[in-house]
Chain A
Amino acid sequence: MEANTGTSPDAPALARNTADRVRGFLNSYGLILVLLVLPVVYGIQDLKNDGNLAHLAQNLFAGLSNGTIIALIAIGYTLVYGIIELINFAHGDVFMIGSFTASQFWSGALGIGLATSTFGIAGGILASLIVAMLVCGVLNVLIEKVAYKPLRNAPKLAPLITAVGMSFILQNVGLLWIGGSPASVDDLIHAQQEVTTILGVHVQRADLLAFAVTIPLVIAMITFITTTRLGKAMRATAQDPEAARLMGINVDTTISATFFIGGLMAGAAGLVYALYETTIWYFQGFQGGLLAFTAAVMGGIGNLRGAVIGGLIIGCIQQISDNRIDPAWTPAVVFLYLILIMVFRPQGLFGEETREAG
């Protein structure tokens, strides 16, 4: 009995300590472990089979390239959520309208096709990019004015429902525009033509386009939000709309500007998608929007950097799953990752507590 009393307090304490240590380790490094599991497993497999990591590097590069489109759309979700805490379900469909506008503009209005000169194609793509961005920006502002602004003081469910409604309306517009089947568009840039090979990684024209459009846009937007007056107003409104209003910020204009910028990004993503995939579909907005929303949540909704990183991570998970596991399992793998990330870090990778949460 005496001997027992001497050792028993130590055993539970030791178990508690071990459990605390494991919990602490998982809290600190669990997320990193989750993110690294697929690359590490397949990296080891590649080293064993091929003696190098070229295959894995190709997967990751293709994932980053695909992820740029998701990232551009995710920015729109995260900006809007950050400022009015609304999940703008119509945003994916605005991206779809961007694809349709861009492809119809270059083929219909500009008459650009496979026979057009390189200079003509480059100019046409630039013009189409501007048109698609402006159309989507204006469309997003109109959506905000009609479907969200009148409900600013309504229960949270009301704008959510109007967002779903706008999504269906835009889907129907797309459906009547080009029909229900995926439609091929001219491969103006010869998207899958290889440009170079770096350390066993094949770089295609589509990859260059995706990075060439996305990187400058993301840098420009981050610069805009962090340095300009309107950008600061956006951040202030996101933190506390009432305080921002008291400080003389026109909150309504700021919100409209946020929707406009989100729309610009969706328009750019639409153009990149049309040139990258060379097939457009009225349903692409639902699919792309779902992935982008997931990316925004994964990165920490409301956080710009998080949305971009989230998009790139989802692109990589998709590519690895498609190439190594089975394309049929890809949606399940992506959402399993989302769940695991949420379990280890409920606020997302770079997220902070929102006004609503705390």
Chain B
Amino acid sequence: MRIRLIAVTGCAALVLGVAACGSDNKSSDTGTSGGSSAGGAVDIYSSLPLQGASKDQTAAMVQGIRLALEQAGGKAGSFTVKYQSLDDSTASAGNWDPGQSAQNARKVTQDSKAVYYIGEFNSGASAITIPILNQAAVPQVSPANTYVGLTVAEPGGFTKGEPEKYYPTQKRTYLRIVPRDTIQAAALLTQMKQDGCKKVALANDKEVYGLGLAKLIEFQAPKVGVALTKDVGIDKTASNFRSVAAQFKSEGADCFLFGGVTANGSVQLYKDVGAALPTAKLYGPDGVCESGFTNPAKKGIPAALGKRFKCSVATLDLKAYPGGKQFLDAFKKKYGNASPDPYAIYGYEAMKLGLDTIKGLGDKGNDKAAVLDALFATKDRASVLGTYSFDKNGDTTLTDYGIYKVGPDGNPAFVSAIKSG
């Protein structure tokens, strides 16, 4: 009886402990800037994975977004801006979640004051939210999506029905300020060629982004003159990938590239491939080019493996951007951090683009249809990222990708900009 009492008490304490921990786990936060004004109010949302391996980047993005809003005095023209940060991830997934992403988009479609939506971070999440927001004609700008099929049907980079299936109204409502994967694939292949890779082992996580990137690599590799092994789609829940690694070894690979994100078994995969191919150079796209993957202190890959790893991100050295220095000074002043994650500047620019567009519309700034048209009409915008325009598909004209190595602190450190081809 006493044992049972102890057991019940222990389990009750466990449950209470869990509840106490869980209560700190906020899925979203709300912030309002500025007071009421004659112009009325508009609502801007961001939807990013604030939990899991990408949380450092997305936290930096939200800081960048808030910085842009603060610099504008919480207003866009005569409109007061209410900004809300939504979380499209769940603690249990440790990654973006389809249901949560859809829920965020539906929440925004029900807000009559919503004129601008920043998101998603993951292409797979955008594949879910674009059709929802499209039907409500809410303008959506992604600060991070690179999957080609979201905007255009380019050879090797789309599946049947893309991108039309994402736009049920047949009118485009989605834009992105990062170059798409056609450019990233070419940049990675160029880098691997420069590094002397003869045969690249290729794997993907079978998600929209990872599989899409791997297909592009397969499509472009012959043109660059890089041989590939058979592309392997991994089971992200597998306990290890030693057999896959052994297969790569038997095919004579001297380099390895994974199309996927950190949360999908990538740490284990790189460990296993790194052990099976002890001299191989290791590469990754922006899906793993983050401290949650590269930093051993954050349970990422071991330091020894990090020395062999290079990755690509659509961000360059922040100081190299036209407005980079001012951005960094302002960021340090507000947050006390002189070297934020490179994605912070994309959050900043995504918000600034929205605020400037609303401001430029004058009294029509609260009309989401007008905001959408104005976004697509953006030409030669002088921004912190450089001067860019949007094409009719919603793609940016920016093309630079940055190559990163693992720095002494374990985080990705900028090495060089690379032009594809």
Q: List the interface of chain A (C-beta within 8 A of B).
A: 55, 58-59, 62, 66, 69, 141-142, 145-146, 149, 169, 171-173, 175-176, 178-187, 191-192, 273, 276-279, 282-284, 287-288, 318-319, 322-323, 326-328, 330-331
Contacts and interface: CB of A to CB of B under 8 A. Distances in A.
A181 B302 contact: no
A181 B242 contact: no
B237 A327 contact: no
B227 interface: no
A145 B9 CA distance: 12
Interface in B40-96: 51-53, 90-95
B100 to A, nearest CB: 13
Contact of B241 (A55, A142, A179, A327): A327
A32 to B, nearest CB: 25
B91 A319 contact: no
B243 A62 contact: yes
A58 B8 CA distance: 48
Given A277-B240, A279-B267, A327-B243, A181 B235 contact: no
B300 interface: yes
Contact of B14 (A169, A171, A319): A169
Given A176-B21, A180-B91, A145 B3 contact: yes
Q: How many B residues touch the partner, as a band?
A: 35 or more
B73 to A, nearest CB: 37
Contacts of B94: 179-181
Contacts of B14: 169, 173
Contacts, number: 126
Given A175-B92, A279-B271, A326-B233, A169 B246 contact: no
Given A173-B14, A175-B92, A192 B275 contact: yes
B31 interface: no
Given A145-B3, A149-B4, A277-B239, A184 B301 contact: yes
B128 interface: no
A328 B232 CA distance: 8
Given A169-B15, A283-B237, A323 B246 contact: yes
Contact of A180 (B92, B268, B275): B92
A273 B268 CA distance: 13
A192 B292 contact: no
B276 to A, nearest CB: 7
A175 B271 contact: no
Contacts of A192: 242, 271-272, 275-276
Residue from A183, A319, A331 whose CB has the most chain B CB atoms within 10 Å: A183
13 contacts: A66-B239, A69-B239, A175-B92, A176-B18, A178-B299, A179-B51, A179-B94, A180-B91, A180-B92, A184-B301, A282-B92, A327-B232, A331-B235
Given A58-B246, A146-B11, A181-B263, A287 B237 contact: yes
Interface string B295-328: 0100111100000000000000000000000000
B224 interface: no
A278 B235 CA distance: 18
B52 A182 contact: no
A322 B15 CA distance: 39
Contacts of B239: 66, 69, 273, 277, 284, 287-288
Contacts of B11: 142, 146
Nearest to A273: B239
B262 A187 contact: no
Interface string B237-273: 1111111101100100000000000110101100110
Contacts of B21: 176
A184 B296 contact: yes
Interface of B: 3-4, 7-8, 10-11, 14-15, 18, 21-22, 51-53, 90-95, 206, 232-235, 237-244, 246-247, 250, 262-263, 265, 267-268, 271-272, 275-276, 292, 296, 299-302
A180 B264 CA distance: 11
Contacts of B15: 169
B244 A327 contact: yes
Contacts of B7: 141-142, 145-146
Contact of A328 (B206, B240, B246, B247): B206
Contact of A327 (B22, B51, B95, B238): B238
Contacts of B91: 175-176, 179-180
Residue from A66, A171, A323 whose CB has the most chain B CB atoms within 10 Å: A323
Contacts of B247: 323
Nearest to B22: A176
A169 B13 CA distance: 12
A153 B21 CA distance: 35
A327 B238 CA distance: 9
A180 B90 contact: yes
Contacts of B4: 145-146, 149
A58 B265 CA distance: 24
A331 B234 CA distance: 12
A154 B38 CA distance: 68
B302 A180 contact: no
Nearest to A170: B14
B128 to A, nearest CB: 19
Contacts of A273: 239
List the 7 shortest-distance A-B pairs measured between CB atoms, nearest first.
Answer: A180-B94, A322-B243, A192-B275, A183-B299, A323-B243, A181-B94, A145-B7
